[in-house]
Amino acid sequence: MSTTIQQPKARRALPPLMQVSDAAADRLRLLYAKGQEGMLLRIAVSTKGCSGMSYDMSWVETPAVTDEVITDKGVTVLVDRKATLFLIGTTMDYEVKALSAGFTFINPNEKGRCGCGESFHV
């Protein structure tokens, strides 16, 4: 009688929780150096909008014990722990368009967005 021992399957590595594009890092450096000196940007997900969820950004003085601290390209952002499952693999970008400029999120977990682009669902 022979016994076969199966080795556990190798787990694939999870993508980073969040990355920051070069444009977003440049904009954050500018904000951290000027008007938001000494503050940190916290990213969360709140329930609102046509599709059910919306990105929520706020300035805080210190990380909460429940915040995940993300450092990428020399800048630090905080992610609310409750938002981590919705944001795994997300890239934060900064776009300048003809009539607007702002942070955007490229989130592989999104299944759809509302028509105005303000909310999403997973």
Q: What is the pLDDT of residues 92-117, one digit of tens each?
A: 999 998 888 889 888 887 766 655 55
What is d(CA 24, CA 30) in angstroms, rounded to the nearest whole number?
A: 10
- 57 Cβ contact list (under 8 Å, min separation 6): 41, 42, 43, 44, 103
Residue extents of the structural domains in the chain: 18-110
With contact defined as beta carbons under 8 Å apart, do 77 and 41 qualify? yes
Give yes or no for a contact between 80 and 45, defined as CB atoms under 8 angstroms apart: yes
pTM above 0.85, yes or no: no
CATH of 18-110, one of 3.40.50.620, 3.40.50.10470, 2.60.300.12, 2.120.10.30: 2.60.300.12
pLDDT at 5 over 80: no
- Token output for 55: 């990105």
Confidence category of residue 79, pLDDT binned at 50, 70, 90:
very high
- What strands lie across the sheet with 75-80, from one edge to the other? 67-72, 75-80, 40-47, 53-60, 120-121, 112-113
